[in-house]
Structure 1
């Protein structure tokens, strides 16, 4: 099979195209999938750079979610058959990453692709919606709760807004950094008054003003760093903070403690570390049902048509420079 591998940590010049890698072997509870499309996530370039996320690497092939067709199933697999259209967040659970033509994964993490979705749309869904759904499930947010959402125009932020507003309107104040991001949030269902430009001076008081002077019940932080400190200053006593980045500062953590806040660590790979593979398939099945019922929609896409080093390098650069403008980056792997 053809695959793009990472020769060493550092820049995008470390990617290399391998034309003839061997097909991965399949176990009794596994499935061989021909990948049709893959999507990119910030963890991809963080792994490439050798940051802490690289501890999860077990293959020189990066990429952590895909859509495709089943080629072969293990002897104990009954839920999937050759030719099924599937999608999944494979993370480090696959034989290799998803910048490749084929992957072997546990059958438990797969879900049938909704018929109305393209392979490109399906590839863009798993990571962002699994993260967003975990936030909704674990935090137990009610429609009366006041929510501050940082980095809202990214993939997880948009998925979260769609999930929260699927059945009820919520009191959300979101931060955005430019006109394009604001437009994406408006399209996702937020009103103009709910969106605050984080570049403005006196940001804390501007956000408070948009929240009628009230502190927030929840802060869902998709940025970290200074934004974690902003969250700590705006959360109420005994409020809740969802840390999706692991980039919170020591000051923020100290301030959360002073307020008696509950801190939730949102980690999708936690379940994989303890072989809880069924969690991925079950949750993605819920998401597929919501997509089929049109309660939620697929993210807007930026699609690279060619499976090349150039496509991978450009996708990484766009993510690093925060130029996605609310779109999920997808790369076609195969067309047939």
Structure 2
């Protein structure tokens, strides 16, 4: 095993060009009940942009390694960690703001938060699904309790969480209505959405009401979604929001439909990953990867996600931005060398 690893360390908040520095850091040592994972791939999420900008600076002293998605290979076990053996391919969502992040060659994680990677997925695909997939599953299956035969409105169905949520909702037997720009309607339709509404071309509320309303609203976009959701909800409808940007809103109308509101900050866990893995194995959930960068180009990956356009001025492709850390088949560096 190497003793050091390459990592993209966040050294200052702000612009991605100056925020990150590639450094050699010690390979972490797994403690009791933990495994050491060789990170094959990770990904970039809006959460990472917020963290880099400094939105959570009170929770993150610098310098720090950020990132939360992992697909990789177990290479070591701490005392009492017997669920996985070296060589096992795993995927997981690392705890947010707790310990070292995943923009690094190796990562230590409690074995209880790890699941075996579905064989159908490459490491890049798996790393692009952990956070968004877990968010969609926890929002719809666990918080909203979405049931077969119900109708759900997914705001932002072409986004990272939205594209996973459309597929999860369909897999749960629900009818999916989603908001997306007209240029993305074919994309969300291919994911399983039965109705797509161009929110940029007019008010979505009358169009959803014309369908008979919905049982569940998933808010991935913010704005006035919370205050307007009662206008489209059936009686005893549920709203789940994953947006933590301050948005004071009047929720008085929610009383009229006995609405229930849930606010979700996604957390890690094996059970959710195993549920997602079953959907993958059944062919009901597929990662959507829009771009792939090496770890050395983490700043460019952040710029692409933040701007929404490529360096050539083209709109960013639908799907997640994945980061390769190690290449498949690549041997670990010699003892004491960089990984």
Task: Provide the TM-score with structure 2 as the length reference.
Answer: 0.85
Q: Which residue of 1 aligns with 2:105?
A: 101
- CA 1:318/1:150 → structure 2, altered by over 3 Å: closer, same or farther? same
Q: Which residue of 2 aligns with 1:164?
A: 169
Q: Which residue of 2 aligns with 1:316?
A: 302
Tell me the SS of whatever aligns to 2:291: strand
Shift of 1:131: 1.1
Q: CA RMSD in A?
A: 2.2
Shift of 1:241: 0.9
- CA 1:285/1:17 → structure 2, altered by over 3 Å: closer, same or farther? same
Q: 1:115 aligns with which of 111, 114, 119?
A: 119
Q: Structure 1, unaligned stretches of length 5 or more?
A: 270-278
* Counterpart Cα distance in 1 of 2:132 and 2:231: 27
* Counterpart Cα distance in 1 of 2:17 and 2:301: 13
- CA 1:229/1:157 → structure 2, altered by over 3 Å: closer, same or farther? same
Task: Count residues in correspondence.
Answer: 316
Shift of 1:7: 1.2
Contact 2:215 2:234 in 1 (8 A): yes
Contact 2:7 2:22 in 1 (8 A): yes
* Counterpart Cα distance in 1 of 2:128 and 2:145: 25
- CA 1:84/1:56 → structure 2, altered by over 3 Å: closer, same or farther? farther
Q: 1:281 aligns with which of 270, 273, 277?
A: 270
Find out whether 1:73 has 2:77 as its counterpart.
Answer: yes
Find out whether 1:187 has 2:187 as its counterpart.
Answer: no
Q: 2:279 aligns with which of 281, 284, 290?
A: 290
* Counterpart Cα distance in 1 of 2:50 and 2:14: 10
* Counterpart Cα distance in 2 of 1:262 and 1:314: 40
Contact 1:229 1:249 in 2 (8 A): no
Shift of 1:49: 1.0
Contact 1:40 1:63 in 2 (8 A): yes
Q: Which residue of 1 aligns with 2:318?
A: 326
Shift of 1:207: 3.0
- CA 1:76/1:87 → structure 2, altered by over 3 Å: closer, same or farther? same
Note the alpha carbon deviations across 1:132-151, whole angstroms, 9 max, x for none. Answer: 11122221222332322111
| Aligned counterparts, 1:4-15, within 5 A | 4-15=8-19
Of 42-51 and 315-324, the range deviating more from structure 2: 315-324
Tell me the SS of whatever aligns to 1:20: strand
- CA 1:81/1:197 → structure 2, altered by over 3 Å: closer, same or farther? same
Note the alpha carbon deviations across 1:162-196, whole angstroms, 9 max, x for none. Answer: 1222253x3322100240x22220220224xx101
Q: Which residue of 2 aligns with 1:3?
A: 7
| Aligned counterparts, 1:23-172, within 5 A | 23-51=27-55, 53-57=56-60, 60-92=64-96, 95-135=99-139, 136-166=141-171, 168=173, 170-172=174-176
* Counterpart Cα distance in 1 of 2:33 and 2:87: 17
- CA 1:243/1:30 → structure 2, altered by over 3 Å: closer, same or farther? same
